[in-house]
């Protein structure tokens, strides 16, 4: 068996991930670290040019205030996010994004990202109140280039390491000391020693059974390579986690997973049931049941889902996005025949570009199913659950807020530092501040990096590495390939063996458990205490069996540990849903044993932490403090 070489990297700030938040962190850290003579290292399991959620590009920037233009304010943003999350959000964190995000968006344009501009006014074209339209196929390439340039300008104090999968945190008592990872291309284990570490490894996909199975397996809305590493890393370090029950169920164009935002907001399309009824109108009375949040405008994303689901459950599905109607309405408003035809052609191009910029598979599916959006409506459906702190979910680490805004309960020294000293989180990794999206995640990376550099300046001592902990991790990395090597000859098919389990088999098992016991799409996102207790029992057995994961090559080795990362996310999710004795986000999940919202009793955050020494979980309620009236 090939031996792993151990490579040691000493740095000051270690940025784990190469996505939107990590690229923001790199740009900002380079600026502050240069002044202090500090080193910054960014490590991505892929390569930042095309890694993470923006790999395929995007067609809109979903968070742009337009403060200078007088369009929105950070206060308005806080009210919007609070409403959308049914009252549960960290207003200090959300406000902090709101007041800084426009500066980040301006940088994107300076770096070369093409924005849609109104021909007459020259203004950026709004997709919706908070969204602006971009020609964003190369969005990530542009953002990554700026990050790499910033680090390159630091000379030997700045480095980007590609294709290294970050596996485990290293701790020195209650302080972070670095991380261990392995190359997915070479037999190398990387030991990173750092004074501060940023977790920016995205969200979690593939925890639940996806709708796309069989030949469609791997197709998902959020990237399949976001496998819960941020959650695992922060949980394993002992950080307090928040909102782990708040999964996101995106309604998407069915099977291609094309996002719906541009259709609802820019094209002003309506979604209707198979009888042609607008469920947002016919089911509006249901909103009364969900307290003050049913009256919020726009209707919270989970309640929009819920109203649609009621029709599907009543046998009125499928639900269709009425693209032809919406496109025709644009044309009808133009009396001149020539101008109307020209506008219709533009609209057709915009409809296709929306997906060619962001979700190519949707454009392929339209082509494959002979769908012209101007002629035929498309089916939409709720997808499998995702864990994504930057979008309309909220799961992530519990982080300190900004000094000038955060109440004392939410402040412990450094902005976006987790409850572990020196460990920071941004983007999907940072919880309770939803609706950051791509621009807000980059902004949060910048905020966190600035604070991380300040932490390093205040805490310049080298953390100590615990040799026993490191040796155990290295042994763990070696095990799956060793297991394969020693046992594969016991059967003729390398995937079926009495001595081991391949990562794909493990993945199917965790997805089945989560789907059936924790409210996956095939159970209409419905669960109950008894189901969740059973699910936890099965997860415990799965965790035992994870010792039998085997890998034939480095790629499968990564798959093994991706699954182990997903399992940590799965466990905190079930435990937190079980703890919260209400149904607060119908349309995301529904507790059939406690089917109502309980305000104000449960208008609280639920935080969960694992003790790294014992592996025991503890949960607690934390008050929601309203800052914006």
User: If binding means CB under 6 A, how many residues of this protein chain bind ligand SFD?
Assistant: 43
- DSSP structural state of residue 227: B
The reply on whether position 356 binds ligand AMP by CB under 6 A is: no
Burial (CB < 10 A; 0-12, 13-18, 19+), residue 552, is middle
Residue 157 within binding range of ligand AMP, rule CB under 6 A:
no
The kind and range of the H/E element at 253 are strand 251-253
* 25 contact choice in ligand SFD, ligand AMP, none (CB below 5 to 8 Å, kind-dependent): none
388 binds ligand AMP (CB under 6 A): no
308 lies in the site for ligand AMP, by CB under 6 A: no
CA-based torsion, 402, 11, 140, 395: positive or negative = negative
Q: Does 131 bind ligand AMP (CB under 6 A)?
A: yes
CB nearer to ligand AMP: pick between 250 and 586 = 250
Residue 391 binding ligand SFD, by CB under 6 A: yes
Q: Which partner in ligand SFD, ligand AMP, none is near 484 (CB below 5 to 8 A by kind)? A: none
Question: Greatest CA span in the chain, whole angstroms?
Answer: 77
Cα–Cα distance, 429 to 600 (Å, whole number): 27
Does residue 549 come out as left (phi exceeding 0), alpha (psi in the -120 to 50 range) or beta?
beta
User: Which residue's CB is nearer to ligand SFD, number 46 or number 449?
Assistant: 46
Minimum CB separation from ligand SFD for residue 329, in Å? 22
Which one of residues 85, 105, 147, 166 is an interface residue with ligand SFD (CB under 6 A)?
Answer: 166
432: left (phi over 0), alpha (psi -120 to 50) or beta: left
Assess 564 for contact with ligand SFD (CB under 6 A).
Answer: no
Task: Kindly state the smallest distance separating residue 449's Cβ from ligand AMP, in Å.
Answer: 25
Q: Please answer whether residues 25 and 198 qualify as being in contact, where contact means their C-beta atoms are separated by less than 8 angstroms.
A: yes
β strands within 414-467, DSSP E: 423-425
Q: What is the helix (H) or strand (E) element at residue 175, kind and residue range?
A: strand 175-183
Cβ of residue 36: shortest distance to ligand AMP, in angstroms?
37
CB closer to ligand AMP, 177 vs 321? 321
**CA neighbours within 13 Å on the CB side: how many for 280?**
17
User: For residues 532 and 517, is the Cβ–Cβ distance under 8 A?
Assistant: yes
If binding is defined by CB under 6 A, does position 513 make contact with ligand SFD?
no
Q: Is 392 in the site for ligand AMP (CB under 6 A)?
A: yes
Q: Which residue has the tokens 């905190």?
A: 572
Q: Which stretch binds ligand SFD (CB under 6 A): 14-22, 95-103, 109-117, 298-306?
A: 14-22
Which one of 29-37, 103-111, 296-304, 409-417 is the stretch in contact with ligand AMP (CB under 6 A)? 296-304
User: CB neighbours of 520 closer than 8 A, spacing ≥ 6?
Assistant: 208, 209, 384, 385, 511, 514
Residue from 437, 484, 585, 590 touching ligand SFD (CB under 6 A): that is: 437
Q: Binding segment for ligand SFD among 196-204, 297-305, 481-489, 504-512 (CB under 6 A)?
A: 196-204
Q: Which of 41, 72, 89, 229 binds ligand SFD (CB under 6 A)?
A: 229
CA atoms of 122 and 129, how far apart (whole Å): 18
Q: Is the dihedral of CA 383, 384, 386, 392 positive or negative?
A: positive
Number of other residues whose CB lies within 10 A of the CB of residue 619: 16
Residue by residue, DSSP assigns 281-344 as HHTGGGGGGGGGGGG-SSPPHHHHHHHHHHHHHTT---EEE-HHHHHHHHHHT--SHHHHHHHH
Q: Which residue is nearest to ligand AMP (CB)?
A: 261
> With CB cut-offs between 5 and 8 Å by kind, which of ligand SFD, ligand AMP, none does residue 587 bind?
none
260 binds ligand AMP (CB under 6 A): yes
Candidate segments 11-19, 35-43, 257-265, 594-602, binder of ligand AMP by CB under 6 A: 257-265
Residue 555: other Cβ atoms inside 10 A:
11
Residues 25-64, one symbol each (x = binds ligand SFD by CB under 6 A, - = not), give: ------------------xxxx----xxxx---xxxxx--
Say whether residue 76 binds ligand AMP (CB under 6 A).
no
Binding partner selected for residue 563 from ligand SFD, ligand AMP, none, CB under the kind-specific 5 to 8 Å limit: none
Calpha distance 359→266 (Å, rounded):
17
Q: Binding to ligand AMP by residue 305, rule CB under 6 A? A: no
| ω into 600 cis (within 30 of 0) | yes
Nearer CB in complex with ligand AMP: 264/585 = 264
Instruction: Determine the 3-state secondary structure of 182 from DSSP.
Output: strand
Q: Which residues bind ligand SFD (CB under 6 A)?
A: 16-22, 43-46, 51-54, 58-62, 165-166, 200-202, 221-223, 225-226, 229, 259, 261, 358-359, 390-391, 427-428, 437-439, 441
Q: Which residues bind ligand AMP (CB under 6 A)?
A: 62, 128, 130-131, 250, 259-261, 264-265, 298, 301, 304, 392
């Amino acid at each position: 068996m090939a031996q792993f070489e151990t490579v040691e990297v000493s740095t000051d700030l270690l940025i784990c991930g190469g996505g939107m938040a990590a690229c923001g962190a790199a740009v900002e850290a380079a600026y502050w670290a240069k002044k202090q003579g500090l080193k910054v290292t960014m490590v991505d399991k892929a390569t930042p040019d095309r890694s993470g959620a923006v790999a395929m590009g995007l067609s809109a920037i979903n968070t742009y205030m337009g403060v200078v233009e007088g369009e929105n304010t950070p206060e308005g943003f806080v009210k919007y996010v609070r409403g959308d999350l049914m009252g549960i959000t960290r207003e200090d964190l959300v406000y902090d994004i709101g007041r800084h995000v426009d500066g980040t968006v301006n940088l994107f344009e300076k770096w070369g990202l093409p924005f849609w501009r109104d021909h007459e006014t020259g203004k950026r074209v709004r997709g919706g109140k908070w969204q602006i339209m971009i020609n964003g196929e190369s969005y990530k390439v542009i953002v990554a280039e700026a990050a790499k340039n910033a680090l390159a300008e630091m000379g030997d104090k700045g480095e980007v390491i590609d294709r290294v999968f970050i596996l485990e945190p290293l701790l020195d008592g209650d302080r972070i000391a670095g991380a261990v990872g392995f190359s997915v291309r070479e037999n190398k284990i990387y030991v990173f020693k750092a004074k501060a570490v940023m977790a920016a490894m995205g969200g979690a996909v593939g925890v639940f059974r996806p709708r796309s199975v069989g030949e469609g397996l791997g197709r998902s809305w959020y990237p399949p390579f976001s496998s819960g590493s941020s959650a695992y890393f922060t949980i394993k370090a002992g950080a307090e986690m928040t909102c782990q029950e708040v999964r996101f169920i995106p309604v998407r164009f069915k099977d291609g997973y094309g996002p719906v935002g541009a259709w609802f907001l820019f094209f002003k399309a309506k979604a209707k049931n198979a009888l042609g009824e607008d469920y947002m109108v016919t089911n509006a009375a249901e909103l009364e049941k969900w307290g003050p949040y049913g009256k919020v405008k726009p209707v919270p994303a989970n309640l929009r889902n819920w109203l649609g689901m009621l029709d599907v459950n009543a046998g009125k599905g499928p639900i269709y996005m009425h693209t032809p109607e919406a496109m025709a309405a644009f044309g009808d408003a133009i009396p001149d025949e020539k101008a109307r035809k020209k506008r219709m052609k533009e609209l057709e191009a915009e409809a296709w570009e929306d997906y060619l910029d962001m979700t190519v598979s949707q454009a392929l599916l339209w082509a494959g199913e002979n769908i012209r959006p101007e002629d035929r409506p498309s089916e939409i459906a709720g997808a499998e659950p995702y864990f994504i702190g930057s979008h309309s979910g909220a799961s992530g680490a519990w982080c300190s807020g900004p000094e000038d805004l955060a109440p004392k309960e939410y402040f412990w020294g450094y902005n976006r530092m987790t409850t572990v000293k020196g460990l920071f989180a941004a983007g999907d990794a940072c919880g309770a501040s939803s609706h950051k999206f791509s621009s807000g995640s980059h902004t949060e990376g910048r905020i966190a990096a600035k604070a991380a550099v300040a932490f390093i300046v205040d805490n310049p001592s080298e953390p100590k590495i615990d040799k026993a902990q490191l040796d155990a991790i290295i042994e763990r990395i070696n095990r799956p390939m060793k297991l394969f090597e020693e046992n594969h000859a016991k059967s003729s098919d390398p995937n079926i063996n009495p001595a081991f389990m391949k990562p794909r088999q493990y993945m199917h098992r965790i997805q089945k458990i989560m789907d059936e016991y924790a409210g996956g799409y095939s159970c209409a996102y419905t669960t109950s205490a008894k189901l969740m207790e059973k699910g936890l029992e099965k997860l415990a057995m799965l965790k035992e069996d994870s010792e039998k994961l085997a890998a034939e090559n480095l790629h499968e080795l990564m798959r093994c540990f991706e699954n182990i990362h997903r399992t940590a996310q799965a466990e905190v999710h079930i435990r937190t849903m079980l703890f919260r004795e209400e149904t607060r986000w119908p349309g995301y999940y529904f507790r059939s044993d406690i089917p109502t919202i309980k305000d104000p009793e449960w208008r609280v955050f639920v935080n969960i932490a694992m003790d790294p020494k014992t592996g025991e979980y503890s949960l607690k309620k934390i008050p929601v403090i309203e800052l914006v009236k």
